[in-house]
């Protein structure tokens, strides 16, 4: 099972430029989480801070009692072995075959025999659907195949935490749909804690158990997917609706005058509740995701602390579940 990741008061800047400040959240063990945000909001920096490759100025990242910001480098290095990291471009070595690329972490960080390395690599190649392509060079395959090879390499050390940095970049909608299903199937098979950084709305709508969003150097929100998908925060509504009207501008956030002018002319096209698309389920033949039951228990325990629209969406989701628990009745006027 995956490991809980606790982030407390994380603040990062480069020189005088503040990237984000006071980010606090918990990635629940074994669940799939997504971090959204417009381009340039520091999502990749956040991933690198979790794994200890970048040092925030303030805050902690706690994993199994080790602080990835402040603990001794030896402890950070050992804890880093719990991670698998899928980079945007796959980050494959161009002169190596896919097999050798995927085997690289095993040869670098373990003393396993080549026969054992081959067994592990071929298992991971099969999981990501690349059987038959293991002898090819990265330049001989499509971008989608390179992504899957990068994911296979992230899995060879049996990580308990998997970080995916914009896995959809450069992929068409069909390949993105295949990748979304692959991520859910992967979670069903290895039960790892997963964090996916993306600005792809299809992945955001169908894959995660939990969602967060970074904007204006702040964490706008983080919690069960229903909270963000029903949020009335202007920046969230703009992002999910893909509209020009709202706080997000072409370069960064808009100024107050622009927002005021838009507010006077904007059409209230988001007044009706947004429909929440069902979350993807594992492919036929795979085991059910163990995170589902844990997540349900966790979310039902926090239900009375969530906004009315999110509570209503959660009740509706579990009312249609084959294993639906007995749900608490909504309070009068809760909006359920």
Does any domain span residue 60? yes
Residue 301 lies in a domain: no
CB of 93 within 8 A of CB of 105? no
Nearest-angstrom CA–CA distance, 21 and 218: 6
Domain residue limits at 147: 5-223
> Does residue 296 fall inside a structural domain?
no
**Mean pLDDT of successive 10-residue stretches along the chain, which has 336 residues:** 94 90 96 90 90 94 96 94 83 91 92 95 92 93 88 93 90 88 94 94 93 91 94 87 81 52 47 72 95 95 94 88 47 42
Q: Is 307 within the bounds of a domain?
A: no
5-43 in b/e burial notation, b at 16+ Cβ within 10 A? bebbebbbbeeeeebbbebebebbbbbbbbbbbbeebbb
Q: What is the pTM of this model?
A: 0.86
**For residue 100, what pLDDT is reported?**
96
CA R_g for the chain: 21
Sheet bearing 5-14, strands edge to edge: 17-27, 5-14, 58-63, 66-67
Compute the distance between CA of residue 89 and CA of residue 143 in angstroms, rounded to an integer.
Answer: 8
Predicted pLDDT of residue 38:
82
The answer as to whether 144 is a domain residue is: yes
pLDDT of residue 89: 66
Q: Is residue 86 part of a domain?
A: yes
In a domain, 270, yes or no: no
- Say if 275 falls within a structural domain: no
CATH number for the domain spanning 41: value is: 3.40.50.300
**Structural domain count of the chain:** 1
| Residue 336 pLDDT | 40
- Other Cβ atoms less than 10 A from the Cβ of 241: the count is 14
- pLDDT for the residue 39: 79
């Amino acid at each position: 099972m995956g490991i809980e990741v606790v982030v407390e008061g994380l603040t990062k800047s480069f020189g005088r430029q503040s990237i984000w400040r006071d980010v606090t959240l918990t990635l629940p063990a074994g669940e799939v989480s997504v971090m959204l945000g417009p381009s340039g909001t520091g999502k990749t920096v956040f991933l690198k801070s979790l794994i200890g490759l970048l040092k925030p100025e303030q805050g902690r990242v706690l994993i199994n009692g080790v602080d990835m910001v402040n603990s001794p480098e030896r402890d950070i290095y050992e804890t880093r072995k719990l991670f698998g990291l899928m980079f945007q471009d796959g980050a494959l070595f161009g002169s190596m075959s896919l097999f050798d690329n995927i085997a690289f972490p095993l040869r670098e960080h373990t003393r396993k025999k080549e026969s054992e390395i081959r067994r592990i690599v071929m298992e991971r190649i099969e999981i990501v659907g690349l059987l038959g392509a293991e002898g090819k060079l990265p330049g001989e395959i499509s971008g989608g195949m390179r992504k899957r090879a990068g994911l296979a390499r992230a899995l060879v050390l049996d990580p308990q935490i998997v970080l995916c940095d914009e896995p959809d970049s450069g992929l068409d909608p069909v390949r993105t749909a295949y990748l979304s299903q692959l991520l859910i199937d992967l979670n069903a098979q290895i039960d790892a804690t997963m964090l996916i950084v993306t600005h792809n709305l299809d992945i955001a709508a169908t894959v995660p158990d939990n969602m967060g969003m970074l904007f204006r150097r702040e964490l706008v929100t983080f919690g069960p997917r229903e909270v963000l998908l029903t949020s009335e925060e202007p920046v969230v509504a703009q992002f999910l609706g893909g509209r020009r009207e709202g706080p997000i501008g072409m370069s960064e956030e808009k100024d107050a005058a622009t927002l005021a002018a838009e507010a006077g002319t904007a059409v209230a096209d988001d007044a009706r509740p947004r429909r929440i698309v069902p979350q993807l389920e594992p492919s036929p033949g795979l085991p059910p995701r163990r995170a589902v039951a844990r997540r349900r228990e966790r979310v039902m325990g926090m239900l009375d602390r969530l906004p009315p629209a999110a509570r209503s969406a959660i009740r509706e989701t579990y009312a249609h579940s084959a294993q639906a628990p007995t749900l608490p009745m909504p309070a009068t006027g809760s909006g359920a």
